[in-house]
Amino acid sequence: MMNKNWFGLLFLIISVLAASVLNACIFDTAAPEEENTIVAGQKVMVIIEEGMTLNGIAALLEEAGVVDNALLFRLFVQQRGSEKNLAPGEYDMVTGSEYEEVLDMLTAGPPVITYNVTIPEGFTSMDIIERYGSELPFITSEDMARAVLIDNYDYDFLNGLESLEGFLFPKTYEILAPYRAADIVDMMLVQYRIETSDLDYGLAREKGLSSYDILKIASMVEREAYIPEERALISAVIHNRLDIGMTLGIDATLTYFLQKWDEPLTETDLAADTPYNTRIYAGLPPTPICNPGLASIAAALEPADVDYLYFVVTDSQTHEHSFTDDYNEHLENINNAE
C-alpha cells in the first residue's frame, strides 16, 4: 500500500500539471481575444443596406463593435417594437455604444448631408458645370455637362430653343447628397420660372420682343453693368440701338463665343464672322451670353427713359460708364477714360 507521503507527492505533481495546463489554456485563449479587442469610443462607419433584416443589422453592429452582443441588441429592439423602423443608410457610430443610443440613431435615419453652392449672377453654363463639379463630391463636371443639354427638360419656356444658357437662375442652392446632376439643373430651371413669373413683359410685347429676347438683353446688361444704378441705362442703349437697327457693338457677346473672358480681344477676334459679333451683325446674339440675375432681367424689361446710344467705361477702378447720344462726345469719353 502507498503511504501518506506518496499520496501527498502525487497530489502535488497532479496539481502542478493541472495548473500548467490551465495556464496554457488561458494563455492560448486570451491571446486571440486581445488581438480582436475593440476599444470603446472609436468612430466607425456602418452602412445599413436596403432590405437588411434585424438579425443582419445586429450582427453587423456587433462585428463593428458598436454593440457588444448581437442577440441582446436584437432582443432589445424587439422589446421596443422597433424592428420595422430601422432606416437604411450610412451612419457614423461609436464603438461600445448604449443600445438605446444606437436604436435612436437607426430609427431617426442617417443624417441628411447638404451642400450650399452659390451660382453668382453672370455665370455661364460652363462656369456652372465647373462650379458644381468642383464643390459636390457626388457630382462630376461630366455629369453636369450632360445634364445641361436642353433636350433633357420639358418646359414651355424652352420650346424651340437649343440651349439652357440664360435659364440657369443664379442664387445659392441647398443640394442634398442624393441629388443627381439633372435634379440640380431642374431646380435651377424651376427657380427661373418662379423668379420671372410676376414680371411685366408689356413693353417687350409692344416692341415685338419675346421673353427669350429679354433674356438675351438681360445677359448683356449683366456682363456690362458693374454698378447697379447703370443697369437700366445700359438696357436703354441696347433698346435704343435695336429700335433704329443699329449694331449693338457689345464685345461681351464675342467674348462669350470665343470664351476669352480673361484676355483682351485682338483685331483678328473683332473681325470674327459669327452672329455673336455684334459689331458686325445687327440685332441680338443667337443666345444669352450668361445667366443673368433678377435685377438685370428687370432692367431689360424696364430700360431707362433716355436717348443714349453709346457708353464706355471711364473709370477703371469703379467700372463706371459714361453715356451719351452723341458719337463725337462718345469719342471724347473714350479719350478721357482713366
Range of the domain at 229: 202-335
The 10 Å Cβ neighbour count of residue 184 is 24
Q: Are residues 273 and 185 in the same domain?
A: no
87 vs 111: which has the higher pLDDT = 87
The pLDDT of residue 298 is above 70: yes
What gap in Å lies between CA 1 and CA 252, rounded to an integer?
119
Tell me the backbone φ, ψ of residue 102, rounded to 5 degrees: -65, -45
Whole-angstrom CA distances from 171 to 25, 45, 291 are 69, 34, 11
Q: Are residues 47 and 135 in the same domain?
A: no
Mean pLDDT of 280-304: 98
Sign of torsion over alpha carbons 279, 280, 283, 288: negative
The pLDDT of residue 210 is above 70: yes
The pLDDT of residue 238 is above 80: yes
Q: Are residues 90 and 183 in the same domain?
A: no
Q: Are residues 315 and 209 in the same domain?
A: yes
Question: Predicted confidence band at 34 (pLDDT cuts at 50, 70, 90)?
Answer: very low
Question: Predicted confidence band at 68 (pLDDT cuts at 50, 70, 90)?
Answer: very high
* 304 in any annotated domain: yes
* 98 in any annotated domain: yes
What gap in Å lies between CA 55 and CA 105, rounded to an integer?
17
